[in-house]
Amino acid sequence: MTNGPAEGASSVFDALYENDDAVVRALRAGASAESSDEEGTTALYLAAVQDLPGTVRLLLAAGADPNRASGPEAGDLPLCGAVCGGHAEVVTALLAAGADPGLREEFGFTALHWASDLGRAEIAEILLAHGADPDLPGPREEAPLVVAARRGSARTVRSLLRHGARALSPALDEARRVLALDVEQELRKALGALYGGEGHETVVSRAPVDGGVTVTVELRRGGEPFAAQERQTGHGAVATLLEQELGLRAPFEELAVRALRDGDPDLDNWQVAVGALWLRGDEETFQAAVAWTAGGDPLRRVFGVDVLARLGFGTGGKPFADRAVPLLRELARSGDPRPAGAAERALVEYGAAPAEWPERGDAPTEWPARQ
């Protein structure tokens, strides 16, 4: 049944396509904030999925129920629709009005499950801060932490861990499983199983997102996309974070492989591996880092330097300074710009000047940017 406006009043649905002033006029004219169309889609759900935070607030203030399900089978929730669209402001407005993050849509999806599955790290944090259960399972009884591990979103995993998520072992198993795969090929295979391998063009894109890379494989016909799947590539960082929570110690070389997977020192895979090795702060780690700096691969040398940069600092001291600083000075004089630049930055951490500037007696205020 349609809950429309009073006679002569503008439809809330028509007003949604104009602006917030039109919505206000419709409501003042007698339109119901709980309006739904012939298919059962509520005005609030439509405003939520279309990322109209002002309209969402107006409807909520006028009495719209943030927990009312929408659609022909009443299987869609405004909160879940906003999460899927990545509409953080709408999510916040719905939660502030009493939306229950634990409610399930059709097939058992919760808002946090959607956020974990889609890599919506900021929204996952908002949901958790508003009381979402970090262990409430979704479809197939999978905990959000397992879903986030499969996605490869280190930032989402961090949020779940901060809020007490407990499914550590199954999440680690999933992160390690996906870590052994080629993400792009897996996405291609999944789409091929659904749509076959002919009659369309396949387009692959990569974009930096939340300290990682999101790989998207899209199918197009006549230049128009009709299907796509995506996944992030932070599984190395996710595995390392979960191992730390479980008190497990990954081999040095495995951490190096994870760090070098994307070849970018600014991504989580690299930084989490380096951070894990810093915390060890022992002689074995020092010797491994020295060996990496002596290798022929410039990127691996940078990794070794980054490990040396703060190794053991968590103890309150700089236990390897006497041996690390001379090595770093030597690397800073090398002709390879990436290891040299990394060594210069590492010397800053030790409060030491490179050999080229002995007269300064202190570290420069600025260093060359990472190449």
Domain ranges of the chain: 12-179, 190-235, 249-350
| In the predicted structure, residue 360 carries a pLDDT above the cut 80 | no
Q: Residues near 358 by Cβ (< 8 Å), separated by ≥ 6?
A: none
| In the predicted structure, residue 4 carries a pLDDT above the cut 70 | no
CATH for 12-179? 1.25.40.20
* pLDDT for 6: 37
- Kindly report the number of other CB atoms within 10 A of residue 241's CB atom: 24
- CA 35, chain centre distance (Å): 35
Q: Which amino acid is at 180?
A: A
- List the strands of the sheet with 201-209, edge to edge: 201-209, 212-221, 224-232
Give the model confidence (pLDDT) of 137-189 as tens digits: 999 999 999 999 999 999 999 999 999 999 999 999 999 999 999 999 999 99
Reduced to 3 states, what is the DSSP secondary structure of residue 208? strand
* pLDDT for 111: 98
Question: How far, CA to CA in Å, does 83 sit from each of 69, 109, 219?
Answer: 15, 11, 24
Give the model confidence (pLDDT) of 279-322 as tens digits: 999 999 999 999 999 999 999 999 999 999 999 999 899 999 99
| In the predicted structure, residue 362 carries a pLDDT above the cut 50 | no
Phi first, then psi: what are they for 233, rounded to 5°? -120, 25
Q: Which amino acid is at 116?
A: S
* pLDDT for 334: 86
Percent of the chain past pLDDT 70, that is, above it, reads 92
How far apart (Å, rounded) are the C-alpha atoms in residues 61 and 6? 19
Reduced to 3 states, what is the DSSP secondary structure of residue 264? coil
* pLDDT for 61: 97
In 163-272, the DSSP E strands lie at 201-209, 212-221, 224-232
